[in-house]
Structure 1
């Protein structure tokens, strides 16, 4: 467990990237966007677990895993503010940890392309993948939870530390895979117009809305420099 004064946990797909790579595969070479949105709504309304809905989405993708990565490399773009934010975090000894319901080989491949060698300094906690000899593949979930990857489990070792040892914790996310992490950190950044904000409003969870990482960067820098506090910026919109 890495301990620094500030730790930024972040979702990957649709948060660090502009597009969700799993949604992109599902929409373009799987069951399609309409059925995907229906499954996401089922999760938000507690009619389905995220694990089951997500598996149904990915099982509908019939490309080989190599073909999936090549397709994503051509189409997934980095959030315009993330690289500058990450470079700033490295300079100020701020830990960045990706918590993803995606698959680590895809995340590593995209990060290497999008931000270069420094991507190796980002810790990733995510699902894995089982690739078969014929090129077919299936997701291997991180844990036995109904999320498939309960992101709160990676945060709790830090949030449960005694006062004086506990870092200030941030989380950045956008969708239904972030629900378990939404209330676990000191300040939640929720992407504008996405399902995580809907959930936060339903559950009255304080959050800071963002459009891209330039806003996250500005807010966290203000807190680190003592110009504002978590309580001052964490509000329901």
Structure 2
């Protein structure tokens, strides 16, 4: 009897796994996955641009008088710290959202791919991710800009020629082209560079109190405000386990509603 029960349990479990809702997770890094903005830490340094000029540029981005790429290019051109100084004074103290490791483990258990899409620099992100997640970081694809440091000068090499330098919507569009029709696309962000990707997500999470939340409210785009990835995990679980569903509005945007 015990053998029969074991067989039935395995059979039912295999069916559940086969029919389970598929999810793909995409997240910004600076200010979203990481509680610190690695770029701003350097840009706000007294040896660089500093916060006053940086805030002027951010205002110009939001008002549409300067492209994101042009503004951030000016920011990075102002950075004058060595690689070792950047790590000793800033990056070694960076922290990631305390809810992310558990959420990442949940995604790994269910074979939900997690992708970091960032306007930051690949070498910085890779090292910080490895510091916090160890070997698990290798399973997370990072799509960001290349960068190199020569002495005290930082050079950013943009991923594409879009106004964002790395148009995150292209990453989601490429993934959706090969995903099953019912795959749920989750995107988590906090800033202006996340706007293009936000429009392609089924579930949009905007970190509370940041520019992306402000933009979504202004443009009437459905989103879920969050403070920690533990909240993201709960919403994803509710979708996967059937307690909620995705509903598309007349404007074409999606939102999560209870069943």
Q: Same-fold call, TM > 0.5?
A: yes
Query: How many residue pairs align between the two structures?
Result: 230
Matches within 5 A, 1:25-64: 25-29=42-46, 30-64=48-82
User: What is the root-mean-square deviation of aligned Cα atoms in Å?
Assistant: 1.9
Who is 2:13 aligned against? none
Counterpart position of 1:129: 147
Q: Is the 8 A contact 1:173 1:190 kept in 2?
A: yes
Shift of 1:86: 0.4
Match of 2:96 among 67, 75, 78: 78
- Say whether the 8 Å CA contact 1:9–1:96 is kept in structure 2: yes
Mapped partners of 2:178, 2:153: distance in 1: 42
| Aligned-pair CA distance for 1:75 | 2.3
Separation in 2 of the partners of 1:110 and 1:202? Answer: 33
Matches within 5 A, 1:50-199: 50-132=68-150, 134=151, 136-160=153-177, 164-165=180-181, 167-199=183-215
Distance 1:114 1:73 in 2: 12
Counterpart-to-counterpart distance in 2, 1:73 and 1:174: 20
How far did 1:69 drift?
Answer: 3.4
Instruction: Write the distance in 2 (CA, Å) between the matches of 1:5 and 1:96.
Output: 12
- How many angstroms apart in 1 are the aligned matches of 2:51 and 2:106? 36
Whole-Å separation in 2 of the counterparts to 1:233 and 1:152: 18
2:229 is the alignment partner of 1:213: yes
Partner of 1:15: 32
> 8 Å contact 2:76–2:154 — kept in the other structure?
no
- Please give the per-residue CA displacement for 1:156-198, whole angstroms capped at 9, x wherever unaligned: 1233468x54521010000111111111110100010000011
TM-score (norm. length: structure 1): 0.90
- Structure 1: stretches of 5+ with no match in the other structure: none
Alignment partner of 2:155: what SS? strand
Give TM-score scaled by structure 2 length: 0.83
* Structure 2 gap segments, 5+ residues each: 1-20, 248-253
Maintained 8 Å contact 1:158/1:166: no
- 123-132 or 29-38, which deviates more: 29-38
